[in-house]
Structures are given as structure tokens and as C-alpha cells.
Amino acid sequence: MPNGKILSVSEITRQIKSVLETNFNDIIVQGEISNFKRHSSGHLYFTLKDENASLSAVMWRGRAAHLFFTPQDGMKVLARGSISVYEVRGSYQIDVISLQPLGIGELQVAFEKLKQKLAAEGLFDESHKKPLPEYPERIGIVTSPTGAAIQDMLNIISRRFPGVEIFLYPVKVQGVGAAEEIANAICDFNEYKKSDSRKFGVDVLIVGRGGGSIEDLWAFNEEIVARAIFASKIPVVSAVGHEIDFTIADFVADLRAPTPSAAAELVVPNRFELIENIRNFHYTIKRNLEERVIDGRELIDNILSSYAFNSPKDRMRQYSQRLDEFDRLIRIKIAHKLLLVKQNLKQVTHRIESLDSGLVLKRGYAIVYKDSRLVDSAFKIEHGDDIGIKFKDGTVDATVKE
């Protein structure tokens, strides 16, 4: 064993802690984030790495609340802080005070990664887009109450469609907590709509802000805002920045407006155009009615000037003559029918008469009876039978001798 004082693990760790924390205070480290985790406590844990080494990092909840973006694995950042030693494990880490992307390129990488993730989940699908109401009665606006964007929207809406009600939900549109405030505002509007649609329910939402840098607009690229827009039962119009600016909110929203002013024009109709349409409808209806009145008058004039209307007696004579003709035809048909019936009756009568036995007896014939039964054959009579013989004028009894 070498000569010298024997140190305990705690003693050597404390000495290392003192050296590291004294010599590496308030430093800036450049690296790539990996193994990023947000603890339920709100603290952020991740690793900073480069090609040859890695460094554990922690950012406490109070400082993490000041981030304007959500760190993601693979993002290159500049971390400002101090080296600290966690004595329990004997490990060192950087206690991050502030964190910022390493240039706009890294924000763009984070933007593309989140865009691909949400697109894969179907948040951008057209099948989920809700139509905007044609004539909204109430409009909800989620934006900063002090920016120029809200003034532009109020001026345009009041000019185009002054009868609509506007509900402003003031929020931060950049910086710490902006994304959470925007998401909460969207959720609150939907809760109000469910609780009392008559008083609070709005027909459409405008979510946006004026132009700015990518850092200024980043709150609208946060996942929490995208999911709040997707979950909204109220149609959402995204109006962020200028026409060339695109955010995640634009892809999720039911309609993307290039600017807040354009959003105001999209959600309400132009009253002057409505008035003109009403005038056109009024003119068309009036013209159609006038044409129908004219057509009706022409029809009445034609009726009044017609021969039938002006010669009713002649018309009646013609109908009377036709009635007489029908009567004559009916009488002829009835007479013909009666003649046929009489002829048939005569024939039937003649046939019945031809079968009358009395007529046969008048012609000199007689009818023989035996035991009150008609005898129609000589072989039915035997010697000594008593028989009756009916003549036309009476009946005689006889006895058969042979």
C-alpha cells in the first residue's frame, strides 16, 4: 500500500465534487440530446453527447418552465450550467440553467420530426377536417390581447359582418408557457360549448398570432397545441405569422389562413356581398312573379276571347244534340235487345209446347198406364193385366186378353 492518508468513498467523492464544481461553474456545452425524459415532477433528464463522449444532464422544473420549445432526441443544443456531482452514485452531470437549439436548423429538424410523427397518427388527414359555418353567430379568438393581430381581426370582422359576437381568450403567444396557455384556451372553449351552448358556445375558433422568427412562432409547433386543435369539436382556423410561415398548427387545423387578417375574412361573409345577393334574389323573385302574372293575364285574355267562352248557347246546343244522339242509339240498342229476347222466348215456348202430352193426345194418340205407371213397351204388359188408357177427352179401364 502506498504511504499516505486513507480516504473514505465519501471523502474522495466530496473532494472530486469540490474540484469539479469549483472549476466548471457557469459553462456552455454543445452536444446532441439523447435519452430525453420528462419526469412526472417536471424535471428534465437527458444526455449530451458527441462523437467520443457523453455527459448526463438535468434541468430542474423551475428552469424547464422557461423553455420555449420541447427538447427532442437528436437535437443539437447549447446547454449553459454548472457541473455537479451526485454523491450517492458518484456520478457527475451538468446542472442546466438554460437550453437553446443550436441554430434554426435544429428547430427545423424538431419541426420535421414532430410533423412526421403526427402525420403518421393521422392528425393531418382531410377526413378529420370540419367545415366552417357559413354564417357564424359567435367567434372565439385565441391570441395575445395586445398584439396587432387581434386589432386587425376585430376591425375586419366588424367591417365585414358586424352582427357577430366575438369572444377573446387572451394568451401568451411566445415564450415560457405559451403552448400550454394556447392548448388550455382551446380546451376551455370546447368545455364552455358543452356546458352552456347558448351563452358560451362559439361556432368557430381562430388560433394565431402575427409574424415573427421561428423561435417566436414555436409555441404553435408544440405537440400539446397540435393535439388540442385535433381534439376540438369546434372548427379551428390556424392564423400564424405571415403567408410564408407554416407551423404544425396549420397542418392540424380545419383550415389554414395565411395571416390573422385573412382568417378574419375567411370565417365571416362580406355583408356587402350578402346584401348584393339578397338584392339579386329579390330581383329574380320579383321578375319571376311578374312573368307569372303576365302569363296568367294572357291565359285569361285567351279564355275571354275564345269561341267557347263567347258562344255558350251554341256549345250547349251541341251538347244537347249529342245527348239526343246518344238517346236514339240507346233506344235502338234496347229495342234490338228486346227483339232478340222475344225470339228466344218464342223458340223456347215452341219447344215446351212440343213436349206437352195434351197436344199429343189431341192428334189421336193415347197413353197406357199400369198400376198408375206409364207403359212405354208392349212387353211390360201380360195377359190379364188391368190397364188404364188415357185419351184426349178422358180415361178408360181395360183388361188385356192377349
* Same-domain pairing of 74 and 95: yes
Based on the fold, state whether residues 263 and 295 are members of the same structural domain. Answer: no
* 150-197 pLDDT tens trace: 999 999 999 999 889 999 999 999 887 899 999 999 999 998 875 555
CA neighbor of 82 nearest in space, from 25, 144, 141, 2: 25
Per-residue confidence (pLDDT) for residue 156, from 0 to 100: 93
241 shares its domain with 346: no
Query: Which range is least confidently modeled, 102-106, 145-149, 194-198, 366-370?
Result: 194-198
State the pLDDT at residue 82: 92
> CB of 72 within 8 A of CB of 33?
yes
Residue 4 lies in a domain: no
Of 67, 102, 137, the position where a domain reaches its end is 102
Average pLDDT over residues 32-59: 89
Of the candidates 400, 365, 364, the residue with the CA atom closest to the CA atom of residue 384: 400
Per-residue pLDDT tens digits for 333-365: 999 999 999 999 988 888 887 777 767 777 778
Q: Are residues 261 and 135 in the same domain?
A: yes
Residue 112, domain member (yes or no) = no
Q: For residues 366 and 387, state if they share a domain.
A: yes
Quick one: 166 and 69 in the same domain?
A: no
* pLDDT at residue 237 is higher than 90: yes
Encode 183-233 in three state secondary structure.
HHHHHHHHHHHHHCCCCCCCCEEEEEECCCCCCCCHHHHCHHHHHHHHHCC
The strand pairing partners of 170, in sequence order, are 143
User: Looking at this protein, which amino acid is placed at residue 174?
Assistant: Q
Q: Both 262 and 319 in a single domain? A: no
What does the pLDDT average to over 196-202? 64
What is the extent of the structural domain holding 20? Answer: 9-102
259 and 133 within one domain? yes
9-18 pLDDT tens trace: 888 888 888 8
Residue 93 and residue 56 in contact, taking contact as beta carbons nearer than 8 Å = yes
250, 241 contact by CB (below 8 A):
no
Mean pLDDT of 78-106: 85
User: Per the domain annotation, does 110 fall within a domain?
Assistant: no
What number is the average pLDDT over the span 260-281? Answer: 89
In a domain, 111, yes or no: no
Q: How far apart are CA 182 and CA 219, in angstroms?
A: 8
Radius of gyration of the chain (CA): 57
- Domain shared by 258 and 365, yes or no: no
For residue 319, the tally of other CB atoms under 10 A from its CB is 9
With cut-offs at 50, 70 and 90, classify the pLDDT of residue 103.
low
pLDDT in the model for residue 104: 60
Number of domains observed in the structure of the chain: 5
In a domain, 344, yes or no: yes
Q: Are residues 206 and 339 in the same domain?
A: no
119 within a domain of the structure (yes/no): no
109 inside domain = no
pLDDT at 65: 79
pLDDT at 105: 67
Cβ distance 258 to 211 under 8 Å?
Answer: no
Residue in the block written with cell 402575427: 210
My answer on whether 252 and 133 are in the same domain is yes
Q: CB within 8 A of 11, min separation 6: which ones?
A: none
pLDDT digits (tens, 9 = 90+) for 104-135: 667 777 888 888 999 999 999 999 999 999 99
Q: Tell me how far apart the alpha carbons of residues 309 and 267 are, in angstroms, rounded to a whole number.
A: 61
d(CA 366, CA 377): 13
**By C-alpha distance, which of 218, 143, 208 is closest to 174?**
218
In the structure, what pLDDT confidence band is assigned to residue 264 with cuts at 50, 70 and 90?
Answer: very high
Q: Assess whether pLDDT exceeds 60 at residue 47.
A: yes
Does any domain span residue 159?
A: yes
The pLDDT assigned to 375 comes to 82
Whether residue 216 sits in one domain with residue 97: no
CATH code of the domain in which 87 resides: 2.40.50.140
Residues of the chain with pLDDT > 70, as a percent, come to: 95
Confidence of residue 376 (pLDDT cuts 50, 70, 90): confident
